[in-house]
Structure 1
Amino acid sequence: MTDQLTYAVVIPTIGRDALTDLVGGILAGPAPLPEEIVVVDDRRDPDPALRMPSTEACPTRVVASDGHGPAAARNRGWQSVSAEWVVFVDDDVQLPADWTRQVADDLRVLDRSIVASQARVHVPAPSGRPTDDQRRTLGLAGAQWITAEMAYRRSVLLEVGGFDPRFPRAYREDSDLGLRVSRAGHEIRSGERVVDHPIAPGGFLRSVKVQAGNADDALMRHKHGRNWRAATGAGPGRPGRHLLTVLAAAGVVAGVGFRHRRLAVISATAWATALLEFALRRIVPGPRTPREVASMLLTSALIPFAAITHRLRGEWHVRRPRAPRRPAVVLFDRDDTLIVDVPYLDDPDGVDPVPDAVEALSALRRNGIRTGIISNQSGVGRGLISTDALARVNARVSELLGPFNTWQVCPHAPDAGCSCRKPLPGMVRRAAEELGVPASECVVVGDIGADVEAARAAGADAILVPTNRTRPEEVSAAREHARVASSLVHAVDLIMGANR
C-alpha cells in the first residue's frame, strides 16, 4: 500500500450513551485521522437528533437509516463515503487512545490482494464465574469477521453488494458478508490492533429473546448451504437437540390427550432428560447463585420452543414464493437505460431511445404507475455541458418518451462531495418526496451498479438491465440483492408480474 492512506469510520447506532465519548476519542487520536466519521442513526424515531463532536480535520456526519437494522445502517454509511477503506465500529466498543494510529498501521502494510482487516476483540472477564449472558459476550473475543471493529476496502463492498439487509439483527450479518467476500476469492486478515468490548447487562429471560437469531440461521443455510457453520466458525449449534426436545414435549401432550400412558411416560422421560442435560450444561460453568440457577432452569425449558419457532419462521420466510409488489413509481436511469449513451450529450438531435423504451414505459403508464428519471450528469460540473444544453436534451427525451412525473438530475462532478450523485440515494429520495410516496414504494431501473446501490441506500427496490458497459461484478451483486432483467420490457414484466 502507498502512504496515501484514506479511510472513513462508520458507526451504526441506536443512541447509546457512550457514543459521544467514542466519537470524541477518535477525533482526539493521533494522525492519520479518518477522512470523516459517519454516524448512522438507526432509531426508528430519531428524536432528539444526535449531536456529535466534529473537527475541521475530521468532520462528523449523522445520517438516518430509519430503524432497518445494523446491516442496512452500515450500508447507508459506507455508501455515503468515498475513502479507500471503511472501518466499521460498533457504538458499544471502547477504543484505545492511539486507535487511529493502530488502524492506519494495520491497513498500510496490506497489499491489494487483502481486502479486509479485522481487529482483535478483547472482552474484559468478569470477576468470578461468568453468567450465561456474560459467556455469550465473552464468545465475541474469538468470533470470525466480527464487525465490532472491522475494516473493508470500499471496492470489495461494491463488488459483493455490501451487507445483506435481510439480516435485521446484529447476529449473522457480519458472517454473511465475510463468507461472501472470502468465497469471491479475497483474503481477510487479522490486524494487530485491539479493542475492548464490554459485557452488556443481561436479563432473566435474555437467552430466550436472543433465539430470534435462529431465523437468521435459516437465511444463512439458504444462502450458503449446509456447511455454513463450519465455513464461518460458528460452532455446531443445537437445532437438532432442540427439535428432539420439542418433539418429546409434543409426545407428552399427545400421550395425555389420547390417554396413551406409555407414550406419555416415554416422552416425559425424554423431555426431562433433555431439559436436565441442557440446564446442567449452562449451570455448571456459571456462578450457581439461586437467581442464575432459576434462570437457567426456566430458560432451558423455554429455549427449545423459541429456537424451533424462530427457525421455522425463518425457513418459511426464505422459502415462500414472493410475488413482486406493484410499486407506485418506477425511476429510470437515462443514459444506456432509456436512450443510447452518448458521452456528454449536448445535442437534442442525438437523443436515440433504446428499442423497447416506448413499449416498457407505455405498459407502466397503462397500469397507472408513475415514471421518473434520475440521472448523473457530471458533464455540467466538469464544464463540458451547459445547463441550457442539458435542459434541451432532457426536453427532447420527454418529447420522445414522456411524460415523466419527476426529473431528478445531479449536475455535480464526481469529486464535488454532493449527496445526490448515484450511488448515493439523494435523487431517489427527492423523487419519492416530490411524488408523495415512501422510497420503499419505488423501483429504480438502471444499467450499472450505482443505480442499484442508490436504490438500496434509499430503501427502494432495484432492477439491473445490463449493457456492454455493465461490469460482471455489478451483475453478480444485483443478482444477490436486487433483480436482473434482460431488457426494459423484461424489467416491466418483473415489476408487473403480480398483477398480470
Structure 2
Amino acid sequence: MIDYSVVIPTTGRESLWRLLSALDTAMGPRPREIIVVDDRPGGAELDLLPSARLLRSGGRGPAAARNTGWRHSDAEWIAFLDDDVVPGVDWPARLTADLTGLGDLVGASTAEIVVPLPADRRPTDDERGTAGLADARWITADMAYRRSALAAVGGFDERFPRAYREDADLALRVRLAGYAVVRGARRTTHPVRPSGTLASVRAQRGNADDVLMRIEHGRRWRELIGEGPGRLPLHVLTTGAAVLGGLLAAVGRRRAAAGCAAGWAALTAEFAARRIRPGPRTPAEIGRMVLTSVLIPPAACLHRLRGEVRHRAARRGGPLPPQALLFDRDDTLIGDVPYLADPAGVRPMPGAEEALRMSRAAGLRLGVVSNQSGVARGLISADQLAEVNARVEDLLGPFQTWQVCVHGPDDGCECRKPAPGMVFRAAQDLGVPVERCVVIGDTGADIAAAAAAGARAILVPTARTRPEEVVRARAEAAVADDIVAAVALALAGVR
C-alpha cells in the first residue's frame, strides 16, 4: 500500500472546494491526510471538508506554502495539487498505480496535464498560455515527490515568490541529488481561468525569476527544463529603440529619432501579429493584443533588470554557504524541562530528527551550544547533565561538539549566551571559520551570541520566545517557523 499525503496550497479560490469534493468522492486508496495550506496573509479561516487539515503559511508564496505542507506530513510520498485542477474520478487509484514499484532512487512522478480548449473557435492568447502547461516538465499542478527527496534538497526554494519556475528549480535540484523524475500515467485537468486585459503584462514579473534560474543552474537552464529560447533579446531591442528614439528627439536629431521610431514600430507590429495570428481575431482580442504588445517589452526589461539587481546583489553580498550548524538544546532540539536531570525526560522537539537528517545529508558539521545554569545553582550535577546530553545523542544522533555553560547568570563568564564564548569554541572545535557557522535557537540570547561571535543566526520561536525577540531577529537575523524550516533556510543561505 502506497503511503501518501496530498498538499494543496491555496489563496481561497472557489475552485478549492471543487477540488476537495472531487478528492472526497474519488475512487482508490485514501491519502494519509489532505493538507490545505492557506497562503493568504490574513483573513477568516477557510471552511473546509472534515477530511482536510488546514495550515497557514502567511502569504509567502506557493513555494513556502508547499514547504509548510510537506514538512507537516510523515507520509512517504507527497502529492502536490494546485487548487484549481480537477482530478479524475479514479485519481487516487491512478496515483498509487504510478507510485507502486518505483525504486528508492526515483524521487518524483509527474502527471499528464490536460487543458481543455474551446472546440468552436481558436483559443485566445490567455488560453494558449494555459495550454502550455500541458507540455511543461515537472509542473506541480499535479506532481508527487518522495519525501526523502524533498528533505535531501531542502524542499522548494522560497526565493521564488510566485507560481513560476519554483517547480522546475526543485526538479532540477532533485535530479542533481541523484534522484530520477519519471512520468506517470494519471491525467489531471487544468481549466483555463479568466484573466484580465493586462494579465500578459503582469506575467512579465517572471523575468526576475529567470535571473535566479540562470544563477542557480547556469546559462543552459532553459535547455535543461526543455524550453526554447525566450523573446527577451527582442524585447530589449524594442525597448532600446523606443528609449533611444526619445533621447534623439529630445536633442533635436529628428531623422535618427524617426529611424528608431520606425524600428520600434516594426518590432512591435511583428510581435502583435505573431500573437494575433493563432487567436480568434475578434476585435476585442486584436485590441488587447495590440495594447499588451506595446506594454510587454518594457515591462519584461524592467522586471529582468529588477531581478539582475536583486539576485546579483544578494550573490555578491551574501555569505558563503554554511559549514556548521550550532543548535541550542532546550526548546530547540528537545522540549524544555527546567533543570532536566533525568534522561528519561528527554523528548525531541517536533521536526528535530528530520532537521538533523537534512543537515547530515548536506555534509554539515553539527554542534550544540547550551546554557545549563542548573549546575551552578546546585539543582543538577555535572554527571546528570552528561547523562541527559548522552540521551539526546541516543535519540538524535551524534554531534561533533558540545559546548555547555554551567555558570550562573551573575558569574560574569565569557561563555553564557548572549556572550559569544561557546560559539567561538564550537567553531574552533569543528575547524571551521566562525562566519561559516549558523546558530539555531529559540531566544534572543541565541541570536545575540551568534552576532557577537560573527556567526549567522536563525530564530525558531516557541511559546516562551518574547515578541520583541522575534521582531529584532526579523530585522537582524532570520526567523523560521520550525527547526526543519530553519535548516532549509540555512542550506539556502541565510542573508
Q: Same fold (TM over 0.5)?
A: yes
| Partner of residue 417, structure 2 | 361
| Partner of residue 239, structure 1 | 232
The 8 Å contact of residues 441 and 459 in structure 2, kept in 1 or not, is answered as no
Deviations 1:354-374 (A, max 9, x none): 459755834469xxxxx9955
Deviations 1:139-182 (A, max 9, x none): 00111000000000000000011100010110110011011112
The 8 Å contact of residues 78 and 144 in structure 2, kept in 1 or not, is answered as yes
SS in 2 for 1:437: helix
| Partner of residue 45, structure 2 | 49
Distance 1:429 1:166, change over 3 A: farther
1:26 and 1:48 mapped to 2: Cα distance?
24
SS in 2 for 1:192: strand
Task: Please give the residue correspondences for 1:128-139 in structure 2 after superposition, counting only pairs within 5 Å.
Answer: 128-139=121-132
Paired residue type of 2:368: T
User: Which residue among 365, 368, 375 is the counterpart of 1:337?
Assistant: 368
Task: Please give the residue correspondences for 1:3-402 in structure 2 after superposition, counting only pairs within 5 Å.
Answer: 4-45=1-42, 47-55=43-51, 60-127=52-119, 128-320=121-313, 321-322=316-317, 332-333=328-329, 336-338=367-369, 347-348=384-385, 350=387, 354=402, 359=415, 361-363=417-419, 373=441
The 8 Å contact of residues 460 and 482 in structure 2, kept in 1 or not, is answered as no
2:99 and 2:388 mapped to 1: Cα distance?
46
Alpha-carbon shift at residue 428 of structure 1 (Å): 3.0
Distance 1:150 1:42, change over 3 A: same
Alpha-carbon shift at residue 236 of structure 1 (Å): 1.0
1:31 and 1:346 mapped to 2: Cα distance?
55
2:487 and 2:41 mapped to 1: Cα distance?
18
User: Which residue among 437, 445, 462 is the counterpart of 2:470?
Assistant: 437
2:5 and 2:459 mapped to 1: Cα distance?
20
Deviations 1:270-306 (A, max 9, x none): 1111001101000000111111111111111110000
Paired residue type of 1:42: D
User: Which residue among 453, 462, 481 is the counterpart of 2:484?
Assistant: 453
Q: Number of paired residues? A: 396
Paired residue type of 1:149: D
User: Which 10-residue stretch deviates more, 160-169 or 432-441?
Assistant: 432-441
Q: RMSD over aligned Cα, in angstroms?
A: 3.4
1:267 and 1:445 mapped to 2: Cα distance?
50
2:244 and 2:478 mapped to 1: Cα distance?
51
1:77 and 1:100 mapped to 2: Cα distance?
19
| Partner of residue 353, structure 2 | none
2:132 and 2:86 mapped to 1: Cα distance?
17
Instruction: Structure 2: give runs of 5+ residues left out of the alignment.
Output: 320-325, 334-366, 372-381, 390-400, 406-413, 422-438, 449-457
Distance 1:117 1:275, change over 3 A: same
2:134 and 2:441 mapped to 1: Cα distance?
48
| Partner of residue 493, structure 2 | 482
The 8 Å contact of residues 459 and 470 in structure 2, kept in 1 or not, is answered as no
Alpha-carbon shift at residue 432 of structure 1 (Å): 4.2
Deviations 1:409-466 (A, max 9, x none): xxxxxxxxxxxxxxxx9963435466563574585899xxx97524268xxxx55xxx
Distance 1:346 1:22, change over 3 A: farther
Alpha-carbon shift at residue 242 of structure 1 (Å): 0.5
1:433 and 1:64 mapped to 2: Cα distance?
21
SS in 2 for 1:5: coil
1:403 and 1:147 mapped to 2: Cα distance?
40
SS in 2 for 1:86: strand
- Normalising by structure 2, we get a TM-score of 0.73
- Normalising by structure 1, we get a TM-score of 0.72
Instruction: Structure 1: give runs of 5+ residues left out of the alignment.
Output: 325-329, 366-370, 376-401, 407-424, 464-477, 484-493, 495-500
